[in-house]
Amino acid sequence: MQITKENKITFIPDGGVTSPKGFKAGGIHCGIKRKRLDLGFIVSAVPAAAAAVYTTNLFQAAPLLVTQESIKKEHKVQALIVNSGNANACTGEQGLKDAYDMQALFAEKLGIPAAYVAVASTGVIGVPLEMDKIKYGIEQINLPEYEAVRRFEQAILTTDTSVKHACVQLEIDRQTVTIGGAAKGSGMIHPNMATMLGFITTDAKINHDELLFALREVTNQTFNMITVDGDTSTNDMVLVMANGEADNLTLTKDHPEWSVFIDGLRMVSESLAKQIARDGEGATKLVEVQVIGAIDDNTARVVSKSIIGSSLVKTAVYGADPNWGRIVCAIGYSGGQINPNSLTVKLGPIVVVENGLPVPFNEGEAKAYLEQEHVHIFVDLKEGSGSATAWGCDLTYDYVKINASYRT
């Protein structure tokens, strides 16, 4: 366990979406994929306050439209059904009907209103969903052996090489509150959502409006600060369910421990975001870009995203080439308000630029640093107090191989 000093938030290493009270999850193989698990589910014992953020891509997939409609109408969700292997995106009226049918089938299985079921899909775009397989899968979900959180984490994956989960516990109103999460994402990852799905559960008591406010704030600092390849997909969503089973007093922005909840939600989201960035298709390294000294936080975000999104920076990191010129170039075209004559750039502990000018450094030491699995790029703009951190990965030959044959 890892306990933060400020709010005594405890990381639960093996925790996930079933760690909060009242949640079950699992996954099965229904046949959309040849062998691997491809249909996952989360169920809350009671209707949960729900909030979600969605892709900015104008071609939003049918499941997102169905889920948005339900949350907007009810502000509550009691269950989630998600398939991988097929995105059900760009599938027209039939795709929308299929998403509604997924929702209705799972709701009937659980004996709850259809509007209390969120729907998600991920996989190949433009291919009709095989609803006979979905229906078969949903019929099997009552089997006890399929209720396992790791099966859920596996069932939502596409090109991911590993499952992604995070969990923290904290104390609010002298009650233990748990926040757990799972995510998938490996390619088509870019700030402002990407081909990623994130699902977060908590037993905290909080209403829809406050939960949405918290999610948006945290997403801007975490999920919207990662990039793998600059592509934003059609199916991306982060969904939070809060069922109130911890029995704390209802959280609002005026609650004295509101910041504790925000910190816990941020820690889970940041952990998931970094796991997605590290698992970028073909990636060998996690790259973290920290920008300080910006005129404001927004400028820091713009600059950090520009650096982490640069293909030239990413390939230099892959090749362990301390070519700081690529970093400076990305800063320069970011659009952020900067003074080129005042910035400092460091590769880990190694200063390579000071006051906008190159500093002599040991190339061998810099190359050795860039060969590490976790690479930290530090930028000080020396213009103000704004700061931000972005995460990404290196760009490798394997990324091209994976995406050149994605459908085959």
Which residue numbers are catalytic? Answer: 195
Residue type, 77: V
- Provide φ and ψ at 283, rounded to 5°: -70, 150
Count CB atoms within 10 A of the CB of residue 145. 9
What is the C-alpha to C-alpha distance for residues 367 and 248, in angstroms, rounded to an integer?
51
* Bridge partner list, 119: 81
Determine the length of the chain.
408
Give the DSSP H/E element, type plus range, for residue 10.
Answer: strand 10-11
Q: Token match 């009907």: residue?
A: 97
Closest CA to 174 of 253, 246, 74: 246
- Provide φ and ψ at 164, rounded to 5°: -135, 120
Give the DSSP H/E element, type plus range, for residue 403.
Answer: helix 397-404
Give the pairing type, strands 10-11 and 164-172. Answer: antiparallel
Residue type, 144: P
What is the C-alpha to C-alpha distance for residues 304 and 291, in angstroms, rounded to an integer?
6
Residue 58 makes CB contacts below 8 A (sequence gap 6+) with none
- DSSP states of 347-382 as a string? ETTEEEEETTEE----HHHHHHHHTSSEEEEEEE--
Q: Token match 């994130």: residue?
A: 198
Q: Are 52 and 215 in contact (CB under 8 A)?
A: yes
What is the C-alpha to C-alpha distance for residues 56 and 235, in angstroms, rounded to an integer?
10
- Supply the angle between the helices 62-74 and 92-110 in degrees, to the nearest 10: 50
What is the C-alpha to C-alpha distance for residues 127 and 33, in angstroms, rounded to an integer?
13
- Provide φ and ψ at 25, rounded to 5°: -155, 160
Q: Residue 119 gets which letter from DSSP? A: E
How open is the CA angle 249-223-178, to the nearest 5 degrees? Answer: 30
Residue 93 makes CB contacts below 8 A (sequence gap 6+) with none
